[in-house]
Every structure is written in C-alpha cells, then in structure tokens.
Structure 1
Amino acid sequence: MNPDPTKSDLRAELRRRRRKLATAAPHAAEAAAEHLVLEHLPAFACFSGYHAVGAEIDPSPLIRRLARTGAFFALPVCEEHEAPLVFRAWDERDIPQPDLFGVPAPPRHAPVLHPDLIVCPLLAFDRQGGRLGQGGGHFDRTIAELRAHKPVFVLGLAYAGQEVRSVPCEPHDQRLDAILTESGYIHVRKD
C-alpha cells in the first residue's frame, strides 16, 4: 500500500468509510452537538451550517444549538463553479432552491451574510486542522476570501472515524480551528 496516499486515494477510501460510519452511528449528530462547549468558540454574530449531502453527518442538531445563541444563520450557496461560495440567510419559511450542484439552498432573494463561524463538512481531518473536502475547493476559496477581511473560526463537523494521521495539504488549503465529533471537541493548536 502507498504510505503517502494522494487526496484522490483518500477521498475514495473516506467516502466508503463515511457511509459505513453513518450507518453504524445513527445518533452521532446529536452526540456531537452535546459535546460542544460554547465557551470554546470565539464570539460570533453570524454562523453558517450546511445541508448534509449523502453520508455527511447531519448538522441540524448543532445548528439548532448555535441558533439558540441569537446569532444569524446562513447556508452556503454555490452560484459559480470556480468562485467562492455565497452565504445567504436561511428562513425556514422559504422554499429551498437547488444551487449549481443541486444542494438545497436559500433562494436568491435571501440576504447575503458574512459568517464569523463556519461549520463545514469534510471527508477526513487530522489533529493539525487539515481538512479533506470533496475536491472542488469551494470551502477553501470561500474561507480564504472571508479570512482576508476578518477573523473566521472554522469548525469541522465529522464522525470520529473520519480522522486520519495526516491530511495531505497544499498551500491553498484552509485549516480548521477545531473539529467536533460524536466523541468530543478537538481544539487545533496553532503554532
């Protein structure tokens, strides 16, 4: 076996693993939300979640918990393939509209927001804050753009079994500030 798997190798392996984890841990999302200590997060006036696709861990319990803080809530929307994601305010009275990838999203008339806290999905993570996403670079571009203007805290939400020894990272890859799983909260130490 290749001792240093490529991102493509890891993606294929981790998609299979995540499907198994989703079946084996049906209450992982609720357990993860319970593990979050709000005091571990920096102050935030706006946060974003995501709409779970496939076997991604469901962010709904965590979103409900964060919403009780009174912060504004936004969902990411892919409006252009090579552009950063746009975060639009979510109102549960709205009818979701599919974005470019078919992911349910707020309608185009919803206000654009700039979150201070981003809860993002992933395929794999490591203890140094490395994150392996789906491969389109959307979250990396988006986080880089936001971080160029203000501090943004990025919380990866995952099954504990998605942890790997080391995620292969490139200069453009944006690191997580923390990871939340059904087993607990992992703060990433910044050196």
Structure 2
Amino acid sequence: MTLPDKPALRAEARARRKRLAGLDPEAAQRAASHIDTLPTGDPVAVYRAIGSELDTDALGLALIRQGRTLCLPVVLQTDAAMIFRRWSPGEPLELDQAGVPAPLPLAETVIPRLILTPLLAFDLEGGRLGQGGGYYDRTFAALPDAIRIGFAYAGQQVEDLPVERHDIRLHGVLTEVGYTAARKVL
C-alpha cells in the first residue's frame, strides 16, 4: 500500500484555502448564521484563526448569545493532547508552546463537549487534513466523547482524503452553506 503524499496534499489545500479566504471575506459570518444546525454541547472549543483559517469570532459571539461557554485549546507539550481553558472574547491571550494565542494559565481548565477545529481539507466521510502537527488528533483521542466539528470554507471539501490509523474522523463540518454530518465516524 502506498502512503499518501500528505505534504503535497497540505500545500495544495493551503493554497486553495488562501484563495477561498480572499474570494469570500463574509464566509465566517454566513457560517455563524447556521449555528442552530450545530449539535448541542457545552462548553464549546473554538480557536483563534491563523492565516487563512476561517475565523471563529462571529461564531463565538453567536454561541455566547445562545448561552454557551467558550474555551480555547492550549498546547502545554508539543507531543501531548491539548488542554482547554475557559475564554470569552476580549480576555487576554498569550502564546502557548505551539506559538498560538491561548488563555492565560489563571483561566479555568474545562473539558469541551463540542470541539470546532480548523482544517486544510475535509471529505464527507469525516476525514480531516490538518496542518500535520497531530495536536487535534491526539486531543480527539484523549476526549473520545467530544463532538468533533470542522469549521471551514465549503470549497475546502475534497472527494476523498487518505485516513491513517492515527487520524480521527470528524462528526461533521460547518461551512458558510450550513452544517453537514459526516457519513462515517469511527
């Protein structure tokens, strides 16, 4: 069996996402308008968008209006599952071990029931192509009961992604056109 060329897939998906971000600056706002289609779960893990990742700001505010609690992932060790700290928009952030903005250590540590994750590409089977660091897969493995939702541009969907043993499928994906449940979750 030939292993997939994930670095090439990532480079292609990164370029596609960057193009999509430039074409549709209102996509995140439209995705947030579909909040009522998301599965229930609280607290909800969002993320601070980096580069061309679909921004969660509008979605986070909509979740707060629904009465849900937000949290952000924090990398304490680069080879371990992430933890999550309670967070509200406007609260201070500092860079974690992965160089990503995260809540300060004094913020309460929580276990999210719903995790919104950035991605480079997704398929309808629940496959997710991430940046390659394994942070979310390790975290999904450590929190098997959490609902895993990709947050992406609809144009990031591909026909079929290679899924390796360590890859953990999503339960669904929320895009600017709505929520789609995955056909296959392992």
Bin the TM-score by the shorter chain.
Answer: over 0.9
Q: Tell me which residue corresponds to 1:169.
A: 163
After superposing on structure 2, the runs of 4+ consecutive aligned residues of structure 1 that deviate more than 3 Å are 91-94
Aligned mates of 1:166, 1:6 — CA distance in 2: 14
Aligned mates of 1:92, 1:121 — CA distance in 2: 18
Instruction: Please give the secondary structure, in 1, of the residue aligned with 2:169.
Output: coil
Matched, 1:55 2:52: yes
Tell me if the contact between 1:78 and 1:101 (Cα under 8 Å) persists in the aligned partners: yes
Counterpart among 70, 75, 98 of residue 72 in structure 2? 75
Q: Tell me which residue corresponds to 1:122.
A: 119
Aligned mates of 1:31, 1:91 — CA distance in 2: 21
Cα deviation code 1:20-57 (max 9, x no counterpart):
1100010000111112334x51x322110000001000
Q: Tell me which residue corresponds to 1:25.
A: 24
Shift of residue 72, structure 1, vs aligned partner: 1.9
Aligned mates of 1:68, 1:159 — CA distance in 2: 23
Aligned mates of 1:45, 1:187 — CA distance in 2: 19
Q: Tell me which residue corresponds to 1:142.
A: 139
Q: CA RMSD in A?
A: 1.6
Aligned positions, number: 183
Pairing 1:86-97 to 2, within 5 Å after superposition: 86-92=83-89, 94-97=91-94
Aligned mates of 1:125, 1:153 — CA distance in 2: 16
Shift of residue 5, structure 1, vs aligned partner: 5.2
Q: Unpaired segments of 5 or more residues in structure 2? A: none
Task: Using structure 2 for the length normalisation, give the TM-score.
Answer: 0.92
Instruction: Please give the secondary structure, in 2, of the residue aligned with 1:12.
Output: helix
Shift of residue 93, structure 1, vs aligned partner: 5.2
Q: Tell me which residue corresponds to 2:34.
A: 35
Aligned mates of 2:88, 2:35 — CA distance in 1: 24
Aligned mates of 1:69, 1:91 — CA distance in 2: 14
Identity of matched residues, %: 45
Q: Unpaired segments of 5 or more residues in structure 1? A: none
Question: Compared with structure 1, are the counterparts of its residues 35 and 71 closer, same or farther at alpha carbon in structure 2 (3 Å cutoff)?
Answer: closer
Q: Tell me which residue corresponds to 1:100.
A: 97
